[in-house]
Amino acid sequence: MELVKKFLRGLFKGLDGLRKVLHLSLLLVIFGVIVGGLSSSIPKLVNDAALVIRPVGEIVEKPSEDAFNRALAEAQGRGTGETVLRDLTDAILAAKGDSRIKTLVLEFDEMSGAGQPTLDEFARAISEFRRSGKKVIATGLGYSRDTYYVAAHADEIYLDPQGRVVLEGYERYRNYYKSALDKLGIDINVFRVGTYKSAVEPFIRDDMSPADREASQAFVNSLWETYVGVVAKARGLKPEDIRTYADTLAPQVKLAKGFTAKVALDANLVTALKTPLQVEERVIALSSKDEETESYRSVTIKDYLRVVRAEDKNAKYPDSRIAVIVGSGEIVDGDGGGGVIGGDETAEVIRKARLDKDIKALVLRIDSPGGSSTASEKIYRELLAFKRTKRPIVISMGDLAASGGYYISAPADEIWASPATITGSIGIFALFPTAPRTFDKLGIGVDGVGTTPLSGELRIDRPIGPDASMLLQSIIEHGYEEFLARVSLGRKKTRDGVHKIAQGRVWTGRDALRLGLVDKLGSLDQAVASAAKRAGLAEGKYERDYLETDKTFAQQLLTILEAKAVALVIKTVGVEAFGGFGFGTAASLDGPTRAAVLAARRDFGPIERSVSRFNRYAVPGQIYAHCFCTPY
C-alpha cells in the first residue's frame, strides 16, 4: 500500500512539473506572439526602383471591415476587396521626392472602382508626382470608366492588345419593392418632408418618381460632364472626343471586327498596345533591372509605406497640428464599427481634438449619405463645442456628403467639395411597416382595448392610426425645420432661401458651389491648407494628425493575438479550414476576374443594403436624414 502511495505522489509531482513547464511554454509563446505582433521588420528599399501601385477592389476613405477581419484577410494571404485612399496618396506623394524611386507604375486589373471625388484625389497625387520629372506608367488588360479616369493622368498608358477601354458613363438605377411588399401583405407608412426626398421610394413605389427622375438625371449628367472634361484635359483631347468614343464604341468595335484595343488606340485614349513583357522592358529602361527576376526593380505600396512611415515617425511641429477626422459610411447611433460613422464614437474623437490645445484647427473629411438624425445631432453639437474654442472647422467632402452628411457639415467655417461630390438632400423621413393584411391571410384576428388615442396604434398587426400618423408627421416637420435652421445659421442664409434648394434635392459639388451650399471646390490637401491658414499657421509649419478612437492596449493586443492564432491555424490545416465562413470566394481569383467579382458584389450589394437599412429604419419614433443617391 505504501508503495502505491509513493507511486501516486511521484506521479502527481511529475504531472505538476509538466503543468508548470507547459504553462511556462505557453507564456513564452504568447510573449513571442506579442513581440512579433507589435514589432515587424522594416523592408529594405532598393535604389532605382519603381513604386508599383496595384489597387484592389474599391478605393475607400476608411476600411469597411474591423481590425480583426482585416488581420484575418492578411493572415489568409488575400486582400479585403478594398484599398484605402490615404495609403495611395501618402505613398505617391512620398515617392515624389524620394531619390530611391525612379518610376511610378500603375496596374489597374484588380481595381473595381470608386466615386469620382475619390478618383480625383488619387489622380491629383499622380499629377503632383509627375511634377518631379519622373515618369508614370499605367498598364492594364482593360480600363473601365473609373480606372481610366486615373490612368488618363499618367505619362504613358499601355493597353494589352487583347484589352479594351469601356467608358460606360454614369447611371442611377435602384430596386423597388412595393409589389413584393404588397404580395407579403406589408404596408409601409411613410412620413417625410421634401418633394425630392426619395430615400423611401423603393418601399412605396415600383418605379422612379418624376421628381426623383428629374434630380437624378441632372446629377448624373453633371458627373459625366465633369468626367469628360477632366479626362479630356489629362489626355490632351477635346471633350467631344471622349463623348464620341463613349457614344459610338459599339459600332466602332463592329467596324474593327472586334479589335477593341485598336479602337482605343485610334481614339488616342492609350499610348500604345503592349503585352506585360513589353511594359516590363519599358519600365526597366526608366528605372533599373533586377537580375534575379529579369524584370525591373520594384517595391510594393505596402512595403514602401512601412519604410517611409517608419522614417517619418517624429513630428516636426508637435504643438501646431491640424486634426483630420475621416467619417465614412452611414451615420448610425452608438459606436458604429467598420464601414459606418458612429454618432457616439465620432463625437468622442471631436471632443478629443477639442481638449487638445496643440490642435489648432479641425478638418472633417465626410463621405456619407447620412443616416440617423439623433447620431447626426450628437456630432453636430460636438462640432459646435469645438467651434466655441475659436479654432476653425473646415469640411472636406468626398464622394458623398448628403442629408445627414450635410447636416454635420453645417457648423463649419468653410466647406470644400469636389465638383462631382453628391451633396444637399436636405430633408428627413421616418417609416413604419404594418402587416394587418398578412395577419388576415393567416386567419389571425386582432382586437382589444386601450386607454389613450395612441394605445395600440403602433403595432405591426394593426393599421397605423390617425393620431400616430399625425404625431409622426409633426415630428418629421419639426425635424425638417431644425435641419433648415442649422443650415441657415451655418451658411448665413434665410430659412426660405435654404428651403428653396432643400426639400431633399441632391446637387453635385459644382451646383452646390453656385447655390452657396459649399464655399470652394478642391481636394482634402487644399482643405487642410485652408484650415492651417485660418488658424494662422505658416505654410508647411504644421503637422497633419489623423485622429481616431483610442483603443486600449488590451484591445490592440487581442486583435493581434486573434490574427496570429488564425494565421497559425491556416499554416497548420490550410485555408480550407475557414471555407465555411465565406472567406474564400474571391481569394483564389486574380487580375481582371477578381476585379469583376468585386464589382459584381458592389452591384448586387444594394439589395442586401436595402434590407439592412429597412431593419434599421423601421423603428417607431426614429427619424432619419439619409440619401440613397450613389450613382454607379
Q: Which three cell numbers stand for residue 532?
A: 492651417
> What is the SS3 string spanning 494-562?
CHHHHHHHCCCCEEEHHHHHHHCCCCEECCHHHHHHHHHHHCCCCCCCCEEEECCCCCCHHHHHHHHHH
Q: Taking the CB of residue 572, how many other CB atoms lie within 10 A of it?
A: 8
Best CA proximity match to 312, nearest among 90, 104, 63: 90
Helix (H, G, I), strand (E, B) or coil at 53: strand
Q: Taking the CB of residue 492, how many other CB atoms lie within 10 A of it?
A: 8
CB 300 within 8 Å of CB 339: no
> Phi and psi dihedrals of 508, rounded to 5?
-85, 165
CA R_g for the chain: 28
CB 125 within 8 Å of CB 93: yes
Instruction: Give the separation between CA 137 and CA 125, rounded to whole angstroms.
Output: 14
Contacts of 60 (CB under 8 A, 6+ apart): 82, 83, 84, 85, 114, 118, 328
CB 361 within 8 Å of CB 413: no
CB 220 within 8 Å of CB 511: no
State the DSSP H helix or E strand holding residue 59, giving kind and residue range, or none if neither: strand 57-60
CB 270 within 8 Å of CB 158: yes
Read out DSSP for 149-172? HHHTTSSEEEEEEEEEE-------
Q: Which three cell numbers stand for residue 495?
A: 430659412
Contacts of 611 (CB under 8 A, 6+ apart): none
For β-strands 330-332 and 340-342, DSSP reports them as parallel
State the catalytic residues: 197, 403
Instruction: Count how many residues are written for the chain.
Output: 632
Instruction: Give the separation between CA 457 and CA 448, rounded to whole angstroms.
Output: 12
Q: Taking the CB of residue 218, how many other CB atoms lie within 10 A of it?
A: 15
CB 61 within 8 Å of CB 367: yes
Best CA proximity match to 143, nearest among 269, 274, 30, 10: 269
Helix (H, G, I), strand (E, B) or coil at 414: strand
Helix (H, G, I), strand (E, B) or coil at 134: coil
Instruction: Give the separation between CA 517 and CA 487, rounded to whole angstroms.
Output: 9
CB 89 within 8 Å of CB 121: yes
